[in-house]
Amino acid sequence: MAEALRIAVAGLGTVGGGLLSLLQTNGDSLAQRGGRSIEVTAVCARDKTKDRGVDLSAIAWYDDPAVMATEAEYDVLVELIGGSEGPAKLACEAAFAAGHHVVTANKALLAEHGTALAKAAEAAGVTLAYEAAVAGGIPIIKAIREGLAGNQVSSLHGILNGTCNYILSAMRDTGRDFGDILTEAQELGYAEADPSFDVDGVDAAHKLALLASLAFGTEVDFANVHIEGIRSISAEDFQYAGELGFEIKLLGIVDGGEDGVRQRVHPTLVPAAAPVAAVDGVFNAVVTEGDFVGTSVFVGRGAGAGPTASAVAADICDIAAGRGGHAFGMPADALAESRSLSMDGREGGYYVRMRVIDRPGVIAEVTGILRDQAISMESIIQRGRAPDEPVDVVLVLHETEESRMIGALEAIAALDTVSEKPYLIRIERFGA
């Protein structure tokens, strides 16, 4: 067997600890698959005194990841710090400058600097690998980059954030509101103390930007991802969606053609028969459409020590076996400049919930505005009667261009009979 592959691990939190445990448990089988044993020669973390369940006494300890990346004896830097700037970025750049491979789980770093880091890796003749950055334990990076290499991918969509999926699943199952379920998710460890990156859609958007680059051969373009979160979804929305035959999911969606690519993260109504509709709790899913293979569905745990460490170990094994390759499926210089399609041109159906004063003629005013925008209505739900008091009205609208829909909502919101801003959820009829 060849010489051991030496790794330096920056960050010993949940994922770093999980990786050390995996190497201790499955190190022998990993060595057989990669043709080399894996040896941890250096680590870096904030707290040297913390018990991580693994003996680190014989391993070089560093307080600064960039210093470790420059001075330690290793072949692969495993970056598990997180963050798009600062120590994580400096450590990766230092590793490339020293001629070392990098394995990272850092989607924020890659979403902001992925193209530049890929170029730096190629210039140094080393590998940048990031299976763990998207969808945790699902091997979706390898699947798109290698398994679907013979296809032109026309679209992909998926559940890319387990925290949001857990919250939405629990809201549907319990009838409780967002705030209550978020608090519960924080107590269970599924949501951070500051959950903004998750519930506002930013984490999913980071991951989507990487998938879009891989699938469409473009530079990473996080700045042009349309992002909406889940804070405005109500328990009533799940009730109405269920009656209409839909589930509500926070989806990352990318599609396009010759004119460019549209990347978007937003709550979505999907038919109950769609592949993603049955994916609940903390699980993730990605669905791709290839011209030769057709529809492919990937489902698994999207976060946590074990699943994410599994993905990190897969990248380390590839490097041990000499299976390198370009980070985004082709040379970084060959990636096309991303041409972003605006949301105004998105065409599809819409769900709209509004509060209106219950009096004669209100619905006629609303439908008149829709008519003026050439938008046709599929169905309407109104619960109960409360003369001269606000009541919920839900509209399901046929496919139309988003710019028309936004214009109609602005006009509807201006009516004196509408008591609060209408709430819109896009409909995607996947699997229908």
Helices 305-320, 14-34: axis angle to 10 degrees equals 40
Q: Point out which residues pair with 403 in neighbouring strands.
A: none
DSSP state of 342: P
Q: Which of 242, 260, 205, 269 is nearest to 425 (CA)?
A: 269
Element (DSSP H or E) covering residue 388: none
Q: Is 207 a catalytic residue?
A: yes
Give phi and psi for 39, each to the nearest 5.
-120, 125
Structural tokens at position 301: 């745990």
E-state strands within 205-343: 226-227, 246-257, 260-271, 283-290, 294-301
Q: Is the dihedral of CA 334, 336, 337, 338 positive or negative?
A: negative
Q: Helix, strand or coil for residue 297? A: strand
Task: Compute the distance between CA of residue 384 and CA of residue 366 in angstroms, rounded to an integer.
Answer: 18
Residues 6+ apart with CB under 8 A from 267: 228, 230, 233, 248, 249, 250, 251, 425, 426
Q: Is the dihedral of CA 107, 108, 109, 112 positive or negative?
A: positive
Among residues 48, 207, 249, 421, which one is catalytic? 207
Is residue 358 within 8 A of residue 400, CB to CB? The reply is no
Q: Which residues are catalytic?
A: 207
